Structure 1
Amino acid sequence: DELYAGFAGRGYEYGPLFQGVRAAWRLGGAVFAEVCLPEGVDGGGFGVHPALLDAAFQALLIVGGQGSGEGLGERVRLPFAVSGVRLGGGGAVRLRVGVRLVGVDEVAVDLADECGRFVGVVESLRVRSVSVGQLAVVGAGRDCLFGVEWERVAAEAVRGVVVGPVVASLSGGDVVALERLAGSGVVPDVVVLTVPAEADCGAGGVVGGVHRVVREVAGVLREFVMDERWAGSRLLVRTSGAVVVESGERVGSFAGAAVWGLVRSAQAEHPDR
């Protein structure tokens, strides 16, 4: 009865939907638990309802110090990475859970229904140890979420050599243009690649257009980061209609939106390029 009050006392608060642990037992380094969805919540449409799976993983907090008896002590272990996931039937609203140690900071999770029938297994759930103090810091900052704010910039403020727009074929035209530019000995500080808003139209429909544009932009990105001649330059990818900037707007370019995701990944791998 005191489980969630204890969690909340350490700054780790679960909403009503996620308070699914009903009973738990410890046996050596393992924990067995009964978890369920709140009344009125339908588990249909899911292999395992996310709130039910989260409740199953909460047994990690009961395991605490890997079966050392630390339990609800000064550190908790939170899910970090999963592998070896297999599912049986779906739509369960109540589960029996077994969490057992299989390595350092690693457990396996077995899921069964009320009759003991196989529902699923997570062969490896890696966890990371977090101190109560760290959780308290996170809790204190819950109203301080980061957001994106937009600034209007005059077009002439974006200086650079324009490469593009993305061609409407798979010819790799922009990579060719990039190669010609590098071969000319001109190495600008900024290279601008423009993805036109209508790039996802044409043969193949929207899906085909999105795939084509993403492939072409990926080709430009790859050439840009692999060719040492561009080591001192930055690539600016300019889209139109790819994101919602002001209320009342809507995404008008699915290709541009997909390019955003691609470029954000490239940014993470190649900072400041």
Structure 2
Amino acid sequence: PPVAGPAGLAEVGLTATGHPLLGAGLELPGTDAVAFTGSVSLGTHPWLADHAIMGSALLPGTAFLDLALAAGEHVGCPRVDDLALQAPLALPAHGSVRLQVRVEGAEPDGRRQVGVYSRPEDDEDAWTQHAIGVLAPETGPSPEALTEWPPPGAEPVSVDGLYDDLAATGFAYGPLFRGLRAAWVRDGAVYADIALPDETAGVAGYGLHPALLDAALHALGCAHLVEDWKDGQLPFAWTGARIHAVGARALRVRLRAENGGIALIAADAGGQPVAEIESIRLRPVADARTVRASAGVGLSRVEWVPVVPADDRADDDVTLVPVAGRGTDGDLVAEVRAGVAAALARLQEQLADERPGRLMFVTRGAVAALQHEEPDPVAAAVWGLVRSAQSE
């Protein structure tokens, strides 16, 4: 008789995480590294449609932080020492995206490297790394409580029209992300009340719901802590992040500019610590093309077009300079240095001539023309030098 298939994650060797974006974890053999996997889409996580930037639904940067915190909690490293976002994750209108958070083995001090990756559900080879960082086991003391609220001497500031202004710059926040309720300023710091809508479901499982933390950053628009806020800002780097309580639906938040970033303390309705982040760095979003291109959204593709030599160019106007690639047995570092030095000398010699003419450096294998190719390091270094010379 046929045998029934596996009934759950444990039967296929996986460990359930309980996180809404990361369904399971898998220990990797031969090391204490762990990979956490999940799937995300606008169908399974419709609240993400409320985070539309320049016309694209993007996974918020706060969600990447929550993924790293969740993975760190499972491996005994609950603090995110550093997390830098490398590429945004645009969610397709249809279909899902596979997520993977990989936590490397522990170093002697207990710290672990972490990376966040994704790929479309229908393309097993198209993995993109979205974030890289370091997890740490130490937690340190809890931040100060925010029991006096609003703080004595804090001046209220208006939050009316903030989300309309953000929408005009391409930040179309839906109801779930419009969590800023009130704000005050005192001594260069911004204090704010943040809350999720009353009807919000699905908060359980997140250390701190990404929409709640994202809305806390909107309070920066009420003061002048961030330059060019009117142009739209997104978080891209986090330092010293730690969750002290889970399941919050409302926050008291203090934001203050420190060491080139924004320091955040979040507390519950009674003022007790919920989260702290030593530094958040933001950067402006230039336009829709930047967002869509970096997120892999669009119809662009690489196409190789044959070059037809111009008939009116005399042969003696162009000097061909062959570039030797890497040898078979030599010292790679020495070969790269020699190749770049020779190209630099040839460039300087040509530019010093009163009638320089044209140089054409002929490389082979300097770039990966086809998938899975690896560039020749010597030719690639010369390629980069000559392109720099062209720019200058």
TM-score, normalised relative to structure 1: 0.49
Give the helix-richer structure, 1 or 2.
1
After TM superposition, the score normalised by the length of structure 2 is: 0.36
